């Protein structure tokens, strides 16, 4: 963050800024109104490195034509011209849709892409594929794979995610924060679409200054900021549900639960109570029972339950809790615990889901949509839960249980990805490599030579936001930003829109896709049609001609003081929840009717897989502090945290000693599915027996004799299983691993080099 005053306005998922680019490089100045700008801005000068600078076609595909191929990911690439690649790809798209039908095209294309309402990569690829007749899509996200399907049954909507109680209300009213999975400051740096004011940390400090207490329940101490003076309870990973059930047991047996709230606002209380007290399975979920599972002393569990009942308590449930095998359970048990306390709908009480997960959670949302590129209509009914991508490619015609349905996987012939990095975000990357050998053709638009680009047949060079114009905004932020072009496109890179427009022209659907507009005309059109549709008190005074040079307009009407479920609390008959009962469902007849043993009809402790002596450590593979997912992993801020070019693996000092390792040593981490190299960093900020390796180091399979990934991507280690048959969400947060010394010098990291 070294920029002088001046520069042009721009925005990113991790902050608004001004920037200038010249022969000396990129200079970035954070938005002066941002109270706590993110150091992730320091990665931006990396935007010129590791670039795809012209179209490439994999040699085997160019010479042999489309078809399954195990050479994907190891074959070399032939640089080609745009004039050659556009008809080549258009012909292949036409072949697949004509011969196999549109359901043979997988266009889910999951990923965060970049800030910007028009060049939003997923919207662009979906609009383009819809103009061609549709595609097999994906539903849900890697962030919240279990949450949305579960919450739809339990509270009828995703309101706890979309509109939780806002920070100003918490700062004023909450007496006790009990933070399952923490509220990690590192994740609150980012927000899908952008964030011009990083406010979360300040509000939590204000709550602390007023006298609020914080209890952090996480194996990692830095899941809550130091300055909140939290009490740290470090359970064994994956055992929060047992702890929550024991807290419920104390409330029930000591008559500290809120009978009135339960009677008016909840259905299924009797079933839940019977289970917690052990009437149904003869296992009372006592503090002693939970202590043996989670490792937190029974006496502290009991006293915490009493404190929660006696204080205005916010039960904060992180997104990471549910990103694990049977991840539905801690979320549902957390909602049940909050229901027992009876504070749901009170200012500062109840539960929240995702505080700290992004800068936007708890910031308050706008009551209207932002300018949005229409995606058209997808007539293809087929879909997958997003994290089932490898299953889809490996099992054409196979079946998948999902939320009471039994899906059939289509036979995918062409995979189209733009704005995502599955070789970063998916689990068991060796299996994903096998899955990527199956289609006839893999197409990737990417600015950078990511592992996903390297596993494609056709790689098309996309611009970064810095090289194009866009409108930046997020529904939780107070400004709409004119993202001016800062730099010229690198090499032959084109905007995704320009690439799709050329393909659409070749395929005869130019008008459907472009509507005859240039990118700049689209910006003006999206802005003006949005402004015209707003209520007068919200519509900006500035038209597009005034907005663009001004660099920003305020977004009015954000609900900054909001309490989740206040109206439902006040009158559940007048404001019922959209559940079958209109109430919070602690027992769901619908879920029960599915008959899933991995997600029964009420929250339950589903025993973990037995410990395996071959893999004695728990790995926490969480989101990184030094970059957004895998983005700009080669940027200066991300690179500075690496050791000998590897991702740091944090380990308790006693475990470092027990395994006979040295600080800074590059070691191998192994699980039942694969291995990666990483560098040892001793830390007493973890529970013993737990190691932590952030996601996002670019997958590097260049030396398989040393490890599945020699750089430190934890998805070389994680298992590719869904949370349960209900949601089939991503389970990448946890794995069982061991660590071992290397017997040969570590091979070089090639992930950021040329393809
Ligand atoms: P990103 O690194 O953001 O990761 O997975 P996701 O795929 O979103 O990838 C975005 C890609 O888009 C980058 O390669 C970037 O270069 C490219 N890109 C950016 N802008 C553009 C553009 O304008 N056009 C084109 N064509 N490309 C662009 C994130 C996912 O990972 C998420 S959201 C979560 S929460 C998961 N978390 C975990 C986890 O906790 N643990 C594990 N083990 N695994 C996870 N994976 C998931």
Supply the DSSP symbol for 187: G
Question: Is the C-beta atom of 626 inside 6 A of ligand 1?
Answer: no
The verdict on the CB of residue 695 being under 6 Å from ligand 1 is yes
Q: Is the CB of 733 under 6 A from ligand 1?
A: yes
**Strands, E, within 228-323: which ranges?**
231-233, 266-267, 313-317
Taking the centre of ligand 1 as the mean of its atom positions, its distance from the CA of residue 638, in whole angstroms, is 15
CATH number 3.50.50.60 is the correct assignment for the domain at 617-741: no
Cβ pair 728, 385 in contact under 8 A:
yes
Mean pLDDT (10-residue bins), the chain, 755 residues: 70 98 95 96 98 98 98 97 98 98 98 98 98 98 98 98 97 98 95 96 98 98 97 98 98 98 98 97 98 98 98 98 98 98 98 96 97 98 98 98 98 98 98 98 98 98 98 97 98 98 98 98 98 98 98 96 98 98 98 98 90 96 98 98 98 98 98 98 98 98 98 98 98 98 98 91
Which residue's C-alpha comes closest to atom 27 of ligand 1? 419
Helix (H) / strand (E) element for 417: namely strand 414-418
Residue 609: predicted pLDDT: 79
Q: CA-to-CA distance for 192 and 186, rounded, in angstroms? A: 14
CA 138 to chain centre: 15
Fold of 56-136+380-472+485-512: Rossmann fold (3.40.50)
Residue 459 and residue 416: Cα distance in Å, rounded? 10
Give me Rg for the CA atoms of the chain.
Answer: 25
Say whether 679 sits in a helix, a strand or coil. Answer: strand
Q: What value, to the nearest 5°, has the Cα angle with vertex 697 and ends 693 and 703?
A: 105
Q: What is the residue extent of each domain of the chain?
A: 56-136+380-472+485-512, 151-365+573-594, 617-741
Distance CA 250, CA 179 (A): 19
Start-end of H helices in 353-459 = 389-394, 422-425, 429-435, 451-454
Tell me, in angstroms, the distance from the centre of ligand 1 to residue 114's CA: 9
The residues pairing with 353 across neighbouring beta strands, listed in sequence order, are: 317
- Answer whether 154 contacts ligand 1 (Cβ < 6 A): no
Burial of 656 (0-12, 13-18, 19+ CB in 10 A): buried
Closest CA to 716 of 747, 752, 671: 671
Q: Quick one: pLDDT at residue 5?
A: 56
CA distance 9 to 1: 14
Centre of ligand 1 to C-alpha 424, Å, is 7
Of 720, 699, 708, 106, which is closest to residue 393 (Cα–Cα)?
A: 106
What is the rounded CA–CA span in Å between residue 120 and residue 109?
12
Residues marked active site are found at 110, 112
- Residue 179 host element (H or E): strand 176-180
Beta bridge mates, 620:
692, 734
d(CA 665, CA 646): 10
Which residues are bridge partners to 415 per DSSP?
106, 442
d(CA 33, CA 14): 14
DSSP state of 491: T
- From 12, 123, 629, mutation site for ligand 1 pocket: most ligand atoms within 8 A of C-beta: 629
- Which strand ranges, in their side-by-side order, compose the sheet holding 15-22? 8-12, 15-22, 25-30
Atom 46 of ligand 1, nearest CA residue: 425
Q: Cα of 113 to ligand 1 centre, how many Å?
A: 7
| Closest atom of ligand 1 relative to the 714 alpha carbon | 43
Q: Does 147 contact ligand 1 (Cβ within 6 A)?
A: no
With a 6 Å cutoff on the Cβ, whether 112 touches ligand 1 is yes
CATH superfamily entry for domain 151-365+573-594:
Dimethylsulfoxide Reductase, domain 2 (3.40.228.10)
- d(CA 483, CA 274) in angstroms, rounded, equals 56
Quick check: CB of 114 below 6 Å from ligand 1? yes
Residue 1 is predicted with a pLDDT of 46
The residue contributing the CA closest to ligand 1 atom 47 is: 425
Nearest to 358, CA basis, from 226, 81, 145, 162? 162
Tokens, residue 706 = 């040393």
Of 125, 114, 15, residue with least CA distance to 373: 125
- Two tokens, residue 250: 């104390």
Instruction: Tell me, in angstroms, the distance from the centre of ligand 1 to residue 140's CA.
Output: 14
Distance from C-alpha of 182 to C-alpha of 184, rounded to nearest angstrom: 6
pTM greater than the 0.75 cutoff: yes
């Amino acid at each position: 963050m070294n920029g002088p005053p001046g520069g042009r306005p721009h925005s990113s998922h991790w902050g608004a800024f001004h920037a200038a680019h010249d022969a000396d490089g990129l200079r970035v100045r954070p938005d002066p109104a941002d109270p706590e700008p993110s150091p992730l801005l320091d990665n931006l000068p990396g935007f010129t490195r590791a670039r795809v600078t012209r179209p490439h076609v994999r040699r085997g595909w160019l010479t042999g034509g489309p078809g399954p191929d195990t050479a994907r990911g190891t074959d070399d690439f032939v640089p080609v011209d745009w004039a050659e690649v556009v008809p080549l790809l258009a012909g292949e798209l036409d072949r697949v849709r004509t011969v196999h039908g549109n359901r043979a095209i997988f266009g889910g294309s999951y990923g965060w892409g970049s800030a910007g309402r028009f060049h939003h990569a997923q919207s662009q690829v979906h609009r383009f594929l819809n103009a061609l007749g549709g595609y097999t899509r994906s539903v849900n996200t890697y962030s919240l794979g279990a949450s949305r399907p579960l919450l739809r049954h339990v509270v009828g909507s995703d309101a706890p995610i979309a509109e939780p109680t806002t920070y100003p209300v918490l700062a004023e009213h909450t007496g006790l924060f009990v933070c399952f999975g923490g509220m990690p400051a590192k994740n609150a740096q980012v927000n899908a679409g952008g964030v011009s004011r990083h406010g979360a940390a300040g509000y939590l400090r204000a709550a602390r200054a007023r006298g609020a207490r914080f209890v952090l329940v996480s194996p990692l101490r830095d899941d809550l900021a130091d300055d909140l003076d939290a009490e740290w309870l470090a359970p064994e990973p994956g055992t929060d549900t047992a702890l929550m059930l024991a807290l419920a047991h104390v409330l029930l047996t000591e008559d500290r639960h809120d009978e009135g709230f339960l009677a008016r606002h909840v259905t299924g209380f009797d079933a839940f109570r019977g289970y917690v007290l052990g009437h149904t399975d003869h296992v009372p979920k006592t503090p002693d029972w939970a202590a043996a599972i989670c490792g937190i002393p029974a006496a502290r569990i009991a006293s915490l339950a009493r404190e929660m009942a006696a204080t205005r308590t916010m039960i904060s449930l992180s997104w990471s809790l549910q990103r694990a095998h049977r991840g539905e359970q801690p979320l549902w048990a957390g909602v049940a615990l909050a229901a027992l306390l009876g504070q749901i709908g009170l200012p500062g009480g109840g539960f929240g889901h995702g505080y700290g997960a992004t800068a936007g959670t708890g910031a308050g949302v706008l009551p209207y949509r932002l300018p949005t590129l229409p995606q058209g209509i997808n007539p293809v009914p087929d879909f997958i839960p997003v994290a089932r991508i490898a299953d889809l490619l490996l099992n054409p015609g196979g079946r998948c249980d999902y939320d009471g349905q039994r899906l059939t996987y289509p036979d995918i012939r062409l995979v189209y990805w733009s704005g995502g990095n599955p070789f970063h975000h998916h689990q068991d990357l060796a299996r994903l490599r096998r899955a990527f050998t199956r289609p006839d053709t893999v197409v990737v638009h990417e600015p950078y030579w990511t592992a996903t680009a390297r596993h494609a047949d056709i790689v098309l060079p996309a611009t970064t936001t810095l090289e194009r114009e866009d409108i930046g905004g997020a529904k939780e932020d107070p400004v709409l930003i004119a993202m001016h072009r800062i730099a010229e496109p690198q090499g032959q890179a084109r905007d995704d829109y320009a690439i799709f427009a050329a393909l659409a022209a070749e395929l005869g659907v130019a008008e459907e896709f472009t509507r005859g507009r240039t990118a700049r005309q689209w910006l003006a059109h999206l802005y003006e049609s949005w402004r015209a549709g707003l209520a007068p008190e919200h519509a900006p005074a500035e038209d597009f001609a005034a907005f663009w040079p001004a660099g920003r307009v305020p977004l009015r009407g954000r609900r900054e003081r909001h309490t989740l479920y206040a109206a439902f609390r006040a009158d559940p008959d007048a404001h019922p929840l959209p559940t079958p009962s209109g109430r919070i469902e602690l027992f769901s007849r619908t879920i029960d009717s599915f008959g899933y043993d991995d997600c029964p009809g009420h929250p339950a402790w589903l025993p973990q897989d037995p410990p395996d002596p071959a893999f004695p450590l728990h790995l926490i593979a969480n989101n990184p502090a030094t970059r957004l997912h895998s983005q700009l992993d080669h940027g200066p801020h991300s690179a500075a945290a690496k050791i000998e070019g590897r991702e740091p693996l944090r380990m308790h000092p006693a475990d470092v000693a027990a395994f006979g390792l040295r600080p800074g040593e590059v070691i191998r981490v192994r699980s039942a599915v694969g291995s990666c190299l990483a560098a040892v960093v001793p830390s007493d900020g973890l529970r013993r027996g737990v190691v932590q390796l952030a996601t996002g180091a670019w997958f590097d399979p260049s030396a398989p004799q040393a490890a599945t990934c020699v750089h430190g991507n934890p998805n070389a280690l994680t298992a590719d299983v869904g949370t349960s048959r209900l949601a089939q969400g991503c389970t990448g947060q946890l794995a069982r691993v061991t660590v071992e010394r290397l017997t040969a010098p570590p091979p070089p990291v090639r992930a950021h080099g040329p393809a």
